[in-house]
Amino acid sequence: MTAPATAATPPLSARAVLLIELALAMGGFAIGTGEFAIMGLMPNVAEGLGISEPQVGNVISTYALGVVVGAPLLAILGSRLYRLHLLLLLMGFFALGNFASALAPDYPTLMIARFVTGLPHGAYFGVAMLVAASMVPPDKRAQAVARVLMGLTVAILIGNPLATWLGQFMSWRYAFALVGIIAITTIAMVAIFLPADPHEQRSSPLGELRAFNRAPIWLALGIGSIGFAGMFCVFSYMAPTLLEVTGVNAGWIPFALAAFGLGGIVGNVFGGWLFDRLRFQAVAWLLLWSALVLLVFPLAAHSVWTIFPAVFAVGTMVSLSPALQTHLMDVAADAQTLAAASNHAAFNIANALGPWLGGLAITAGLGWTSTGYIGAATAVGGLLVFAWAWKVQRSEQEADARSAACCS
């Protein structure tokens, strides 16, 4: 259940809020670096364990499966804990998973380690978002959420290239060890900067489950699962698109990753700002923007002068994340922890759906740039789910208004 500040809870200073947001964002930086680093180290992991690159792809998928399973499960199991304690446990779990990954002697062990590492991913982000939103006024919540999510986008820009470089020049195992150290740093920062709140209102697992089973929550998760798939569809095949369509050499790929990361930072800030002003309507505008960007991407992919601005624009689609995360806080009622965590499970479903649809199109002979058109179609699909959610929301508001009129 949402734990708004009570009269017994002393207000936090602006400096204290900033330090807490920094500590929470550090956790996002650790998770983002750990999730994406293996993609750049695929050949190194394959060589080190004597397996094929498609098998390393299975390792990546296993992590995503851990996120989908762990997000709702750990949110339910941890609903009785104070958020401070739950954050520390989740990040400790994540650190142990990465150290186990670094020490994995063979392919099956690495598969298990990555699945375990993925389990706390969604629950950590969900709880961190709730903590961030609880420290600021209602009209600033989305911007607070965006500041915490900044850790994830900075990981794409800085953490992922750093871990990839470390893995290439030393060993892929050092990349996972680095993520484990960042996770331990997060534990220390959260323990130091986030004060315990003895007045925090907690909920029961059954209460969260009952409150979760409502149409507005499921529709919001549906928007993320479908509407976000387009970004992952293009991003997953960005490297071969650069090599085969744009015609650049592999040395340009890190610059494209940097452009995507910069776009993610800008989009993250903008998405939070827009939602604080337009509320749920912001999601529709962001989906329209996503569809437009993805439609233009295939045209821009043929020139080195246009591909990098296009990749930057694809990165700005991250703007949907803080908007949907904050909307879920508005509609989740007594299922705050479960809904917030499930949002990241939904994004990982999009992370699986987008590349799968793009792969089908490429295999069918439609070319590398077909990912843009497929992605635009998923954005339109997200808009259709939004229209359904908007209708349900208006119906509930009208019903509440009639109920209030009858009681007055």
pTM: 0.79
| pLDDT for the residue 407 | 64
35-50 residues labelled b (16+ CB within 10 A) or e (exposed): bbbbbbbbebbbebbe
Pick the residue with more confidence: 75 or 5?
75
Q: Where are the domain boundaries for CATH 1.20.1250.20 in the chain?
A: 11-202, 203-399
Tell which phi-psi region holds residue 333, choosing left (phi > 0), alpha (psi between -120 and 50) or beta.
Answer: left
Segment 129-149 mean pLDDT: 85
Express each pLDDT in 197-242 by its tens digit.
766 676 667 777 777 788 888 999 999 999 989 998 888 788 788 8
| pLDDT for the residue 7 | 39
Pick the residue with more confidence: 142 or 1?
142
Q: For residue 51, name the pLDDT band (cuts at 50, 70, 90).
A: confident
Length of the chain: 408
Chain position carrying tokens 């992922």 = 160
Segment 55-84 mean pLDDT: 83
Express each pLDDT in 24-34 by its tens digit.
999 999 999 98
Express each pLDDT in 270-311 by its tens digit.
998 998 889 899 999 999 999 999 999 999 999 989 999 999
The whole-angstrom separation of Cα 201 and Cα 134 is 12
Express each pLDDT in 356-399 by its tens digit.
888 888 888 888 899 899 999 999 999 999 999 999 888 877 77
The whole-angstrom separation of Cα 151 and Cα 161 is 14
Pick the residue with more confidence: 350 or 4?
350
CATH of the domain spanning 11-202, picked from 3.40.50.10330, 1.20.1250.20, 1.10.940.10, 1.10.3330.10:
1.20.1250.20
| pLDDT for the residue 405 | 67
Contacts of 52 (CB under 8 A, 6+ apart): 46
CATH code, 203-399 = 1.20.1250.20
The whole-angstrom separation of Cα 145 and Cα 277 is 14
Q: Which two tokens stand for residue 13?
A: 């200073």
| pLDDT for the residue 376 | 95
| pLDDT for the residue 404 | 67
Pick the residue with more confidence: 153 or 9?
153
Contacts of 79 (CB under 8 A, 6+ apart): 202, 203, 204, 205, 207, 208, 337, 338
What is residue 332's DSSP assignment?
-
Q: What is the mean pLDDT of the chain?
A: 86
| pLDDT for the residue 20 | 92
The whole-angstrom separation of Cα 284 and Cα 390 is 10
Express each pLDDT in 172-190 by its tens digit.
899 999 999 999 999 999 9
Express each pLDDT in 92-115 by its tens digit.
999 999 999 999 999 999 999 999
Q: What are the DSSP E strand ranges found in 125-280?
A: none
The whole-angstrom separation of Cα 166 and Cα 164 is 5
Segment 240-250 mean pLDDT: 84
| pLDDT for the residue 408 | 61
Residue 162: pLDDT above 50? yes
